[in-house]
Amino acid sequence: MACALRLKQQLNNLKKSSSKVSEYVLDIKNIGAELKSIEQVVIDSYLIQTTINGFGHEFHLLVVLISSQLRTMSLQDAQYLFMLLEQRIKILNQVFQIYSSNSLAIFVENVEKKVSLGNFILLKIFMVISFK
């Protein structure tokens, strides 16, 4: 019984932090398997809820969606959705880093050559507002 309580506490304290979604969910699955090995009942909705509790704010919208589907979704389905979102966040962060660095000047220079003056002014206004 003490082992089960320790494992459940470990499960509830687990956070994604800087690890990849696949590593984080694997840790949860492993603890779930340990609980099952000592004859504890572990259902996917419990593991999904535990997984959700360990995510940061960047996953909030997907957390809300998955929370509403707890009864019908498997842990594997939830993991897949979180991994997709993680990949999108990674891509968006890379794009933002490119355009917020010195490459922004090169981007603006190339755009100046390709759009009319009116459209270019609108683009500059948008960029100033977007990068504040």
Q: What is the pLDDT along the chain (132 residues), one digit of tens a residue?
A: 789 899 999 998 999 888 899 999 999 999 999 999 999 988 888 898 899 888 887 777 778 878 888 778 888 888 888 888 888 888 777 766 666 665 556 665 665 555 455 555 555 555 554 554
Q: Based on the domain organization, do 66 and 90 belong to the same domain?
A: yes
Q: Based on the domain organization, do 32 and 77 belong to the same domain?
A: yes
Q: Based on the domain organization, do 70 and 121 belong to the same domain?
A: no
Q: Based on the domain organization, do 108 and 52 belong to the same domain?
A: no
Q: Does the pTM exceed 0.75?
A: no
User: In the numeric block, which tokens belong to residue 89?
Assistant: 């966040």
User: In the numeric block, which tokens belong to residue 117?
Assistant: 């003056």
Which domain covers residue 115, as residue numbers? 102-132
Q: Structurally, how many domains does the chain consist of?
A: 2
Q: Based on the domain organization, do 47 and 17 belong to the same domain?
A: yes
Please give the Cα distance from 78 to 51 (Å, whole number). Answer: 9
Q: Based on the domain organization, do 94 and 110 belong to the same domain?
A: no
Q: Based on the domain organization, do 96 and 31 belong to the same domain?
A: yes
**Residue 23, number of CB atoms within 10 A of its CB:** 10
Q: Is 71 helix (H, G, I), strand (E, B) or coil?
A: coil
